[in-house]
Homo-oligomer: A and B are copies of this chain.
Amino acid sequence: MSFDLPEAVGKRIYVQGKLHPELRVPMREIELSDSLFPDGSTEKNEPVRVYDCSGPWGDPSVKCTVESGIPRLREAWIAQRGDVARTEGGALKAAAAASPPTQRAYALRGIVTPEMEFVAIRENMGREEAFRAVYDRFPHEKTRPQEAQQLLDELGTGMPRPSELEKEPGFSPQSLQQRADLRYSHPTEYAERTGVQAPAFFTPEFVRDELAAGRALIPANVNHPEAEPMIIGRRFLCKINANIGNSAISSDIHQEVQKLRRAIHWGADTVMDLSTGADIHRTREWILRNSPVPIGTVPIYQALEKCGGKVEMLSWEVLRDTLIEQAEQGVDYVTLHAALLERFVPFTAGRATGIVSRGGSIMAKWMMLHGAENFLYTHWDELCSILASYDVAVSIGDGLRPGSIADANDFPQLAELEVQGELTLSAWQHGVQVMNEGPGHVPLHLIPENMRKQLLWCHEAPFYTLGPLPADIAPGYDHITGAIGGAMIAQRGCAMLCYVTRKEHLGLPDAEDVREAVVTYKLAAHAADLAKGHPAAQLRDNALAKARFEFRWEDQFNLSLDPQRARQYHDLTLPHAGAKKAHFCSMCGPNFCAMKLSQEIREINRAEK
């Protein structure tokens, strides 16, 4: 079977832990070539370290096969804590009388687990050194304004008029660079005002405190030791999720594992297995044993398969047994549409597009047929006890999310959101890690309200949205629609974006659709990280911009989110190897290249001094 995954750029390296010296935290390091100046002098460019989701699959020195699965990274950490025991079926589960083995429970007890240190190092991307080196190149970014200036206020005027600045005695390019206060709208200003600020460097203790406050989660089922710890929270890097899964129409198991590998190669931070066809259990087993990223599911799908697709046959018992089955297999987080209450359903009748969530529509139909309250809601405490026993995190679903611009931010959507908040609090009391799912189709001007209300009503639990899509008229391009809305909500604190592929609303995505969608969402999340002032986000942009300005084409390709595509597009018109050293591209040609002219201006400038 052909498998078209390109070779990863750069090499996978590992950074050792300090509190837990056995930790080997993976990153990808991209080597850069030297800068070459017209006078023949050169300058070394430090390698850039980037976040890496590819796991052992991205490390040629680790030999693994789909059949054997990947190494069980967390097995010893879990065993050492001594709070889990084997069930009859061989799975791990909280030992009797033990406090729940969840990262939340450890954090509340003040414990810094290996998982917490792992994500702290991972979020820093081990970039302290390179970070300082780059900031030395751009000194105006080094310091922060002393006083918060409310320059992001829509009515503010910000920086003084340049013509006023020019009147100052001694004003020059040199004096300007020293005036830190001109960096009046440094990301941290914005971040502080919107509550998305991160510390200059992440520490294991900071991670622990965010977990304890419920502002972040580390999805890490004790039965999925293959997963490399990662954190979801608005003060960390924005994460993205990719959905895979076969439907009755298409796809097979081998394809699903390949989709997983493809998704993590391009940068998916978590993967949801939304399979609904035959072989759900077996597909999931293959995926879990081969996945270095947390796996999420929507258990009601499998429960419905067990009922032969008949919604009326669903019951609390079937769902409960399915949930336990999945928890024992190693699923890291589950979507449960528990906040969709019976009394909200009639409010969807007047909507333009009714209910568009699969899980939501299943639960709504069950409630209509039985005239009964949502069994996920009525059994919430029991559900949470099960989840806590395995450290399965819950993603409280938004079954009534709007499916069109016309339905955005309406009563049923917001009524469910309020109940998500109520359920968040009680799940936390069980020690369960929580996030909340969000929309959906929302026009741009209503997106900020979604984020504000979620933070307020759901007690700052991480928000995880599908899009939002700020228009309905672009089927075939909805990865872009969702990236526009996603960047905007992530900038305001949404912690994870679920990708939407260009096949959304139309069909099942193929390999190229997955690549396109993952890279697009990685881009949206990164744009948000820049705006949030994540301490290491801009490093890669700066390195790429410098490579671009210096016509280091290979470096520019290698630093990009999709090196193969960048190279391919360049080579379509200038395929010769020599063009990789050319000081122009086919876009403007040699005589009209602004970068080239701008370098010439620098030289004239230098000669005059």
Minimum C-beta distance from A480 to chain B (A) = 5
Judged by a CB distance under 8 angstroms, whether A113 is at the interface is: no
Tell me what chain A mostly uses at the interface: helix, strand, loop, or mixed. Answer: helix
Give CA–CA (A320, B163) in the complex, Å: 29
Judged by a CB distance under 8 angstroms, whether A110 is at the interface is: no
Stretch of A36-44, A430-438, A466-474 contacting B (4+ beta carbons < 8 Å)? A466-474
Judged by a CB distance under 8 angstroms, whether A459 is at the interface is: no
- Could you give 21 example pairs across A and B, Cβ below 8 Å? A157-B453, A158-B452, A176-B411, A247-B592, A276-B589, A346-B605, A353-B548, A353-B598, A354-B599, A357-B594, A358-B593, A361-B594, A403-B594, A474-B523, A475-B556, A476-B565, A477-B562, A479-B480, A483-B483, A506-B587, A508-B586
Judged by a CB distance under 8 angstroms, whether A600 is at the interface is: yes
Taking a contact as CB atoms closer than 8 A, the residue among B165, B369, B566 that contacts A411 in the complex is B165
Q: Which chain B residues border A154 with CB–CB below 8 Å?
A: 193-194, 448, 452
Asked whether, in the complex, the Cβ of A173 is within 8 Å of the Cβ of B560, the reply is no
Given A158-B453, A520-B477, are A538 and B405 also a contact pair (CB < 8 Å)? yes
Q: Which residue of B lies closest to A591 (CB)?
A: B309
Q: Which chain B residues border A141 with CB–CB below 8 Å?
A: 406
Asked whether, in the complex, the Cβ of A452 is within 8 Å of the Cβ of B600, the reply is no
Asked whether, in the complex, the Cβ of B545 is within 8 Å of the Cβ of A406, the reply is yes
Asked whether, in the complex, the Cβ of B594 is within 8 Å of the Cβ of A527, the reply is no
Minimum C-beta distance from A403 to chain B (A) = 7
Asked whether, in the complex, the Cβ of B354 is within 8 Å of the Cβ of A601, the reply is yes
Stretch of A53-61, A219-227, A373-381, A497-505 contacting B (4+ beta carbons < 8 Å)? A497-505
Q: Which chain B residues border A605 with CB–CB below 8 Å?
A: 346, 349, 368
Minimum C-beta distance from A153 to chain B (A) = 9
Judged by a CB distance under 8 angstroms, whether A69 is at the interface is: no
Q: Which residue of B lies closest to A471 (CB)?
A: B527
Given A151-B449, A590-B248, are A481 and B598 also a contact pair (CB < 8 Å)? no
Asked whether, in the complex, the Cβ of A480 is within 8 Å of the Cβ of B483, the reply is yes
Asked whether, in the complex, the Cβ of A414 is within 8 Å of the Cβ of B477, the reply is no
Contact digits for A43-69, partner B, Cβ 8 Å, 1 yes 0 no: 000000000000000000000000000
Given contacts A354-B599, A444-B491, A477-B562, 5 further A-B contacts (CB under 8 A): A173-B349, A276-B591, A345-B601, A355-B594, A471-B541
Q: Which residue of B lies closest to A504 (CB)?
A: B587
Stretch of A86-94, A125-133, A570-578 contacting B (4+ beta carbons < 8 Å)? A570-578
Judged by a CB distance under 8 angstroms, whether A519 is at the interface is: yes
Stretch of A17-25, A182-190, A198-206 contacting B (4+ beta carbons < 8 Å)? A182-190
Judged by a CB distance under 8 angstroms, whether A409 is at the interface is: yes
Instruction: Find the residue from A172, A506, A566, A601 having the highest chain B CB count within 10 A.
Output: A506
Asked whether, in the complex, the Cβ of A591 is within 8 Å of the Cβ of B248, the reply is yes
Q: Which chain B residues border A472 with CB–CB below 8 Å?
A: 540-542, 544-545, 548
CB contact list, A550-609 vs B, under 8 A: 556-557, 559-562, 565-566, 568-570, 572-574, 585-595, 597-602, 604-605
Give CA–CA (A526, B369) in the complex, Å: 40
Q: Which chain B residues border A346 with CB–CB below 8 Å?
A: 172-173, 605
Given A365-B601, A368-B601, A520-B480, are A569 and B506 also a contact pair (CB < 8 Å)? yes
Taking a contact as CB atoms closer than 8 A, the residue among B527, B570, B594 that contacts A507 in the complex is B570
How many copies of this chain does one complex carry? 2
Contact digits for A335-364, partner B, Cβ 8 Å, 1 yes 0 no: 000000001011111101111111011101
Contact digits for A479-500, partner B, Cβ 8 Å, 1 yes 0 no: 1110111011001000000000
Give CA–CA (A557, B538) in the complex, Å: 40
Q: Which residue of B lies closest to A364 (CB)?
A: B601
Asked whether, in the complex, the Cβ of B598 is within 8 Å of the Cβ of A356, the reply is yes
Judged by a CB distance under 8 angstroms, whether A546 is at the interface is: yes
Judged by a CB distance under 8 angstroms, whether A167 is at the interface is: no
Give CA–CA (A546, B599) in the complex, Å: 55
Given A406-B545, A414-B159, A604-B368, are A506 and B452 also a contact pair (CB < 8 Å)? no
Q: Which residue of B lies closest to A179 (CB)?
A: B411
Judged by a CB distance under 8 angstroms, whether A277 is at the interface is: yes
Q: Which chain B residues border A594 with CB–CB below 8 Å?
A: 355-358, 360-361, 403
Q: Which chain B residues border A488 with CB–CB below 8 Å?
A: 444, 484, 488
Judged by a CB distance under 8 angstroms, whether A445 is at the interface is: yes
Give CA–CA (A557, B472) in the complex, Å: 12
Give CA–CA (A523, B309) in the complex, Å: 38
Q: Which chain B residues border A162 with CB–CB below 8 Å?
A: 411, 414-415, 417-418
Asked whether, in the complex, the Cβ of A601 is within 8 Å of the Cβ of B570, the reply is no
Judged by a CB distance under 8 angstroms, whether A13 is at the interface is: no
Taking a contact as CB atoms closer than 8 A, the residue among B348, B411, B566 that contacts A476 in the complex is B566
Asked whether, in the complex, the Cβ of A185 is within 8 Å of the Cβ of B276, the reply is no
Given A445-B190, A541-B404, are A350 and B177 also a contact pair (CB < 8 Å)? yes
Judged by a CB distance under 8 angstroms, whether A383 is at the interface is: no
